[in-house]
Structure 1
């Protein structure tokens, strides 16, 4: 019984340790945008389907986020769909 308890405690400690081991969380934050589905050279639609980027900027849609990443040579990911909950006061809607 003691061996089982020790094993469970060690397993729990290992899980907590791995969860805190991220370096600033920036590299793996958010989800990758599906940029391959858009013709970025042809431009993006004007359909408003807001995306909050990991840079806390609201992009008018996923295609615009992808176009901005291409233009700026960045890798902003999708933090959440919709408006940013904690947006930067200097951030405006990014448009293509």
Structure 2
């Protein structure tokens, strides 16, 4: 018979196999998209109103303002949807 700690390995592997899909399901959804911040090089943003919802649950007036927030805070904010949150 295997030592006690080794007996748990198969159970842990089974648990991990079941838990990994749940993590993907309840983590950040894959349909969130990365904003295209490379196109916004100006010190300011255009005033066009095309709201986007960030993964921080803040509605930004447009994608450029979301990119400015990312640059200021250094956080990884994704676009969850076009339009307000």
Which TM class, normalised by the smaller chain length? 0.5 to 0.7
Number of the residue aligned with 1:69: 70
Aligned partner of 1:37 among 28, 39, 57: 39
User: With structure 1 as the length reference, what TM-score do the two structures score?
Assistant: 0.60
RMSD: 2.6
Q: Which structure is higher in helix share?
A: 2
* Count of matched residue positions in the alignment of Structure 1 and Structure 2: 68
Q: Which runs of 5+ in 1 are unaligned?
A: 1-15, 85-96
Which segments of structure 1 move beyond 2 Å, counting only runs of 4 or more? 16-21, 26-29
User: With structure 2 as the length reference, what TM-score do the two structures score?
Assistant: 0.67
Q: Which runs of 5+ in 2 are unaligned?
A: 1-17
Number of the residue aligned with 1:22: 24
Alpha-carbon distance in structure 1 between the residues aligned to 2:31 and 2:72: 21
Alpha-carbon distance in structure 1 between the residues aligned to 2:29 and 2:70: 15
